[in-house]
Amino acid sequence: MPLKPGTRLRSQVCTTEVIVVRPAADELDLRCGGQPMIEIGSDSTVAVGAGGTPAPGLDEGTLLGKRYTTADADGTLELLATKGGAGTLSAGDVALVLKEAKPLPSSD
């Protein structure tokens, strides 16, 4: 089942946390540092770092406040990092990329 907007996920291998701003059309195997992400508020008792360290090549890090999407051109997925960390976000083995946002002028 695709994730709902507002769903919050966390990494098993670092401090990274994300929120789903826009879900992908299909179900995705979202990972951070090579390990599956865990839904925050779920029953999981896996502690931060319990999944080991980020896998080589998936240790470029995730930046606080940045938006991420899938590398394919028509990816609708949008994740927002609410906490940064050492692991790289990926869908399966393919790293997510930064999503360029159109700057909007401040209105209030």
Partner 1 sequence: MSLSLLLDMAASGHADRIALGSRGGGISFSELGARAARGATVIGQLSPSHVVFIGRNGPAYPQVMFSAAMAGVAFAPLNYRLSKEQLHDLLGELENSLIIADSDYVGLLHEHDSAVMSTAAFIEAAADAPPSEAAAVADDATAVLLFTSGTTARPKAVVLRHENLTSYIFSTVEFGNADEDEAALVAVPPYHVAAVGSALSNLYGGRRVVYLPDFDAETWLRLVHDESVTSAMVVPTMLARVVELIGDGPAEAPALRLISYGGARMPRPVLEHALRAFPGVDFVNAYGLTETSSTIALLGPDDHRDAFGSDDPAVRARLGSIGRPVPGIEAEIRDEDGNPVEVGQVGSLWVRGGQVSGEYRGQGSVLDNDGWFPTRDLAHADADGYLYIEGRADDTIIRGGENIAPAEIEDVLVSHPAVKDVAVVGRPDDEWGERICAVVVREPGIEVATEELRGYVRERLRGSRTPDDIVWRNELPHTPTGKLLRRQLVAELSDPSTTESTIKES
Q: Are 82 and 89 in contact (CB under 8 A)?
A: no
Distance set, CA 91 to CA 86, 102, 104 (Å): 17, 24, 29
Distance set, CA 104 to CA 5, 20, 98, 101 (Å): 22, 21, 18, 9
- The span of 27-35, 43-51, 86-94, 96-104 binding partner 1 (CB under 8 A) equals 96-104
Q: Are 16 and 89 in contact (CB under 8 A)?
A: yes
- The span of 27-35, 53-61, 62-70, 88-96 binding partner 1 (CB under 8 A) equals 62-70
Q: Which of 8, 48, 53, 97 binds partner 1 (CB under 8 A)?
A: 8
- Nearest distance, CB of residue 65 and partner 1, angstroms: 3
- In the shown chain, the binding pattern of residues 70 to 89 toward partner 1, with x for contact by CB under 8 A and - for none, equals ----------x-xx------
Q: Using CB under 8 A, list all residues that contact partner 1.
A: 5-6, 8, 19, 21, 41, 64-66, 80, 82-83, 101-108
